[in-house]
A = this chain, B = another copy of it.
Amino acid sequence: MARVLASEIPHHVGEQVSLLGFLHWKRDLGGIQFALVRDRSGIVQVVVEKGVDLPLAESSIRVTGKVVENAKAPGGYEVLANGIEVVSAALEPSPIEIPKEEWRVNPETLLEYRYVSLRGEKARAALQVQAALVRGFRNYLDAQGFTEIYTPKIVSAGAEGGSNLFGIDYFEKRAYLAQSPQLYKQIMVGVYERVYEVAPVFRAEEHATSRHLNEYLSLDVEMGFIQDEFEVIDLEENLLRAMLEEARHTTPKQLAMLEVEWPNTQEMPRLSHAEARRILREELSMPVGQDFNEEAERALGAYAKEKWGVDFLFVTKYPQVARPFYAYPEGNGVTRGFDLLFRGLEITSGGQRVHQYEVLIEQLRNKGNDPANFAGYLEVFKYGMPPHGGFAIGAERLTQKLLGLPNVRYARAFPRDRHRLTP
């Protein structure tokens, strides 16, 4: 008998069906047994006769039985089993109770047993929403004439100087893990004008906080022949709307299960860094420097929500001291760099980049870098690079804030931090 998925059960009332999945949960009421079977599409309640031996939870099983309506069953249907076959038996009880998905408690336990805790309905919903956001990212950019690129993660030098790099033994040489595809995506602007990449990036940050990962998924965009950074910001606004729409259309059940409070995607105000500093200082009485720390970002997010009812806030015109050498300088110590805060968390850094060879050399020197260390990168700027800019969205941070997850680690299947290399 052909397999029927959990989500297809409502179309088979009165029929004999065959289900394949994991034994999510079971309960023996003496006269009768209840089980929940979980497959890739959802969960079905199964009624099993007294005396039938059910294997340990998480075993793979095949259930044959008749579909009936039952208003009390999850989803309104259940299967009256007349056959249970163990496809692959669990050998031990799961180290965590998967149906009791209390991921606000005990994060280290959940991560330690990630290979089974991911089977929980909420854990898997979160990563499916993330996949939908990424799909929306690609689809929107494909339609706008962007080309997907795949740039090297093994590099000979860092994109922003030498800090936070993981070293690699590359045969006789020293190499590093790419912190960002920055330099490569800029080169590719000279090839395709508009490019994007979806790939892991690696940062050897020492601190293990609820917002940092040492390996994360970076959604990178770069575009040429722009007027200024506001063209890039316009693109990112529309891109984010498209990504969120893709999630809403393709993962509605997941979003409902996670009780997501949908963000305001209509308005994404743009605040200059100077104005943001003034608000922090004068209206929020907070100490403020040339770059914003976590607290300042949170405060700005709360302010924007309270005052304008918005979840996304662009902070533009970053000071040069807080930006890397490739940020386009506008004079007076200000760049065309911007950040995007989502619910008070930085999820994007971006901006217009320097496209003039001489300016790059000068900026490298100003930042204390030896241009010789950037020789490979600098070369391309001798060959007519147009004005260009772009940004990167941290996929896990976007997912975390959209879904209200307490820790960015839950927005990654197998997070890496200072202390965690497994599973």
Chain A, interface size category, equals: 35 or more
Is the C-beta of A170 less than 8 angstroms from some C-beta in chain B? yes
**Is B169 a contact of A166 with CB atoms below 8 Å?**
yes
Stretch in A66-74, A147-155, A318-326, A327-335 touching the partner: A147-155
- A85-103 Cβ-contact flags toward B at 8 Å (1 or 0): 0011111101000000000
Q: Which one of B40, B56, B88, B383 lies within 8 Å of A194 (CB-CB)?
A: B40
Closest residue of B by beta carbon distance from A395: B150
Contact A382 B91, CB 8 Å, known A166-B168, A199-B200: yes
Contact A154 B416, CB 8 Å, known A116-B190, A124-B191: yes
**Is A134 a contact of B151 with CB atoms below 8 Å?**
no
Stretch in A44-52, A171-179, A298-306 touching the partner: A171-179
**Is B199 a contact of A422 with CB atoms below 8 Å?**
no
Is the C-beta of A160 less than 8 angstroms from some C-beta in chain B? no
- A337-356 Cβ-contact flags toward B at 8 Å (1 or 0): 00000000000000000011
Expressed in whole angstroms, the Cα–Cα distance for A106 and B81 within the complex equals: 69
Is the C-beta of A22 less than 8 angstroms from some C-beta in chain B? yes
Expressed in whole angstroms, the Cα–Cα distance for A172 and B198 within the complex equals: 29
Copies of this chain present in the complex amount to 2
**Is A416 a contact of B356 with CB atoms below 8 Å?**
no
**Is A149 a contact of B413 with CB atoms below 8 Å?**
yes
Expressed in whole angstroms, the Cα–Cα distance for A194 and B173 within the complex equals: 39
Expressed in whole angstroms, the Cα–Cα distance for A260 and B70 within the complex equals: 58
**Is B87 a contact of A154 with CB atoms below 8 Å?**
no
- A105-130 Cβ-contact flags toward B at 8 Å (1 or 0): 00000000001101100011001101
**Is B90 a contact of A41 with CB atoms below 8 Å?**
no
Is the C-beta of A145 less than 8 angstroms from some C-beta in chain B? yes
**Is B153 a contact of A153 with CB atoms below 8 Å?**
yes
Closest residue of B by beta carbon distance from A90: B384
Is the C-beta of A379 less than 8 angstroms from some C-beta in chain B? yes
**Is A148 a contact of B168 with CB atoms below 8 Å?**
no
**Is B90 a contact of A124 with CB atoms below 8 Å?**
no
Q: Report B-chain residues with C-beta under 8 Å of the C-beta of A142.
A: 135
Closest residue of B by beta carbon distance from A187: B115
**Is B423 a contact of A118 with CB atoms below 8 Å?**
no
**Is A88 a contact of B386 with CB atoms below 8 Å?**
yes
Q: Which one of B94, B123, B156, B225 lies within 8 Å of A422 (CB-CB)?
A: B156
**Is B422 a contact of A153 with CB atoms below 8 Å?**
no
Is the C-beta of A414 less than 8 angstroms from some C-beta in chain B? yes
Expressed in whole angstroms, the Cα–Cα distance for A214 and B55 within the complex equals: 45
Closest residue of B by beta carbon distance from A86: B384
Taking the closest CB of chain B, its distance from the CB of A118, in whole angstroms, is: 5
Is the C-beta of A380 less than 8 angstroms from some C-beta in chain B? yes
Using a CB-CB cutoff of 8 Å, which residues 211-254 of chain A contact chain B?
A: 214-215, 217, 224-225
**Is A151 a contact of B87 with CB atoms below 8 Å?**
no
Q: Report B-chain residues with C-beta under 8 Å of the C-beta of A292.
A: none
Q: Which one of B87, B127, B415 lies within 8 Å of A225 (CB-CB)?
A: B87
Closest residue of B by beta carbon distance from A55: B384
Is the C-beta of A78 less than 8 angstroms from some C-beta in chain B? no
Closest residue of B by beta carbon distance from A422: B376
Is the C-beta of A60 less than 8 angstroms from some C-beta in chain B? yes
**Is B115 a contact of A384 with CB atoms below 8 Å?**
no
Is the C-beta of A421 less than 8 angstroms from some C-beta in chain B? yes
Q: Report B-chain residues with C-beta under 8 Å of the C-beta of A192.
A: 40, 124, 128
Chain B CB within 10 Å, residue with most, of A177, A224, A355, A382: A382
For the A-B complex with A115-B190, A128-B192 known, give 10 more contacts whose Cβ atoms are closer than 8 Å.
A20-B386, A60-B385, A89-B384, A90-B384, A92-B382, A118-B190, A131-B148, A152-B215, A168-B168, A188-B413
Residues of A within 8 A of B (CB): 3, 20, 22-23, 39-41, 55-56, 58-60, 87-92, 94, 115-116, 118-119, 123-124, 127-128, 130-131, 134-135, 138, 142, 145, 147-156, 166-171, 173, 175, 177, 184, 187-188, 190-194, 198-200, 202, 204, 206, 214-215, 217, 224-225, 355-357, 376-377, 379-380, 382-387, 395, 412-416, 418, 421-423
